[in-house]
Amino acid sequence: MNPRKNQLPSSYRDPAGFVFEENGIVYRQVNQCYRLHYDHLIASGLYEKLTSQKLLIAHEEITEENLEAYKILKADRIPFISQPENWCHSQLREAAILTLKIQKISLQYGMTLKDATPKNIQFIGCRPVFIDTLSFEKIVIEKPWVAYRQFCESFLAPLAIGHYSNIPTNRILQGWPTGIGLKTSRKLLPFISYFNIDITLNIHLQSAIIKNEKHSQKKQISFSEIKHNDLISSLQRGVETCKAPKTKEHWTHYYEEAATRANYIVEKERIIRSWMNELPMFKTGIDLGSNTGHFSKILAERSSFTIAVDNSEASIEGLFSEAKGDSFKYHEKILPLVLDLSNSNFTDSPPSSGIFSSGPYEIVLALAVIHHLIIRNNIPSEYCIELLSKLTKNILLLEFIPADDPLSVQMREDKDHVYHEYEQSMTEKHIERYFQIEECIEIGSSGRFMYRLRKK
């Protein structure tokens, strides 16, 4: 085992240790400098408390001769590593609440979180879990929370701006992936945000304090356990009041509109179910252009783990909110993500996106997707099919919407020029480079077609 050689590129900031991968297994090295904190994490019972409640990813210690390392930990594997900029507002909100919950529990065991970044959280389906075992350190109770400012910049500020300014939160995180400075956040927030006492205390007031500290000697405030808990309560109230942006997006009502077309959804679902029932169970699946997840749930019936991808945060917000309900059967089987496929670098091999690094997937749904890429986003048909081939391991279920379909016509009317030819015969020609066409069926009398394709 050679940890340094196999160290993951993203794991380099923490002197306490790093993550590495060997033979498909994820490990974490604990360096000697973190020994006292790690021993306290285990001996105090905090690790057992958090893992038993599924708040912290579990691990096992590996016996390995390594002079540099204090411990080598084998971590439970996360099905898919997502990035915060691909989360909807409520996913970031749930990650923030989990971080505060863990900080509050840690205080009871004489520990604190030394950092508070969304990158310490991953989702198993729709359930958030803390993944950074080395974020815990023994607390000096008289000192303020060392990760307080990072929490405000990485969690509270994006949530507040999304809530008060009605901006999709994932776009905020794309612009500020490491957090928004409080001075900038203060400028972006509208005046009404001052009426929220917890936003005022933790963003507006803190921004002013930071500014004044540059011109005066910094005063060290003495803390206590009560003050730490009061701070957590204030942050939690602030986070919980930041509801998802209210955006009116056409595609969130897609199924309502589609249902008006003579049995279109019913027939489409019948075809997809019949094809899936002819195939063995899948380990991994992805629904591209999932909207609010109707077909993602059908895919999850046959797949151990499903990723639901859409470029509309409102649609993913709807799916994630539904997943929090008690009646939702796929809470840990469906991971919703906000992702615009048209932003993929089509000349990369594979394109630079998280869904590619974790692929290919045994089954891929691409329902009413490629006409958006070709007509609306000017991406050549052959590039679209090549992209789908890189994501597909075995089966691709592809819906083709013809150029004379009302939706295709509407897209062309919204544009001055359509740069690439879009017709069924040409698309089939590109398909046959990568796939075997097993079946092609018209969806009722809609003029739209479903293809069952097998990767060559």
pLDDT value at 349 more than 60:
no
pLDDT band at 277 (very low <50, low <70, confident <90, very high): very high
Please state which of the ranges 374-378, 382-386, 420-424 shows the lowest mean pLDDT.
420-424
Q: Report the pLDDT value the prediction gives residue 33, as an integer from 0 to 100.
A: 92
What digits encode the pLDDT tens for the residues 153-212? 999 999 999 999 988 898 899 889 889 999 999 999 999 999 999 999 999 998 888 766
C-alpha 243/C-alpha 253 separation (Å) is 20
State mean pLDDT over 105-125: 96
Q: What is the mean pLDDT of the chain?
A: 88
Q: What is the mean pLDDT of residues 1-16?
A: 76
Q: pLDDT at position 283, please?
A: 93
Q: What average pLDDT does this structure show over 122-128?
A: 94
- How far is residue 342's CA from residue 369's CA, in Å, rounded to a whole number? 10
Percent of the chain with pLDDT over 70: 89
Residue 259: pLDDT band (50, 70, 90) is low
Q: What is the pLDDT of residue 421?
A: 72
Of the listed ranges 215-219, 231-235, 279-283, 322-326, the least confidently predicted one is 215-219
For residue 357, the model assigns a pLDDT of 74
In this structure, what token pair is assigned to residue 158?
Answer: 């994006």
Three-class SS state of 7: strand
Percentage with pLDDT > 90 across the chain: 62
Residue 223's pLDDT is what? 87
Average pLDDT over residues 115-128: 95
- The region of weakest confidence among 34-48, 121-135, 199-213, 292-306 is 199-213
Decide: 268 and 294 in contact? Cβ < 8 Å.
no
The pLDDT of residue 22:
86
pLDDT band at 10 (very low <50, low <70, confident <90, very high): confident
Nearest Cα residue to 28 out of 95, 67, 76, 80: 76
For 425, half-sphere exposure in the C-beta direction (CA atoms, 13 angstrom radius) is 0
Residue pair 62/132 in contact (Cβ under 8 Å)? The answer is no
* CA dihedral for 385, 388, 392, 394, sign (positive or negative): negative
Q: Where are the alpha helices (DSSP H) in 153-311?
A: 157-165, 169-175, 182-188, 197-199, 205-213, 225-241, 254-258, 264-277, 294-300
Contact 56, 102 (CB under 8 A): yes
Sign of CA dihedral 139, 143, 146, 149: positive
Task: Establish how many alpha carbons lie within 13 A of residue 63's alpha carbon, considering only the half-sphere containing its beta carbon.
Answer: 0
Spatial neighbors of 233 by CB under 8 A, at least 6 apart, are none
DSSP 71-115: EEEEEPPPS----GGGS-HHHHHHHHHHHHHHHHHHHHTTEEES-
CB-based burial label for 385 (10 Å; 0-12, 13-18, 19+): buried
Q: Mean pLDDT, to the nearest integer, of 413-430?
A: 77
pLDDT band at 217 (very low <50, low <70, confident <90, very high): low
CATH number, span 250-455:
3.40.50.150
* pLDDT of the residue at 347: 54
Between helices 157-165 and 89-108, what is the axis angle to 10°?
A: 140
pLDDT reported for residue 333? 92
Give the pLDDT band (50/70/90) at residue 251: low
Closest C-alpha to 375, from 416, 430, 433, 425:
416
- Position 25 scores a pLDDT of 87
Give me the residue spans of the domains in the chain.
17-75, 84-241, 250-455
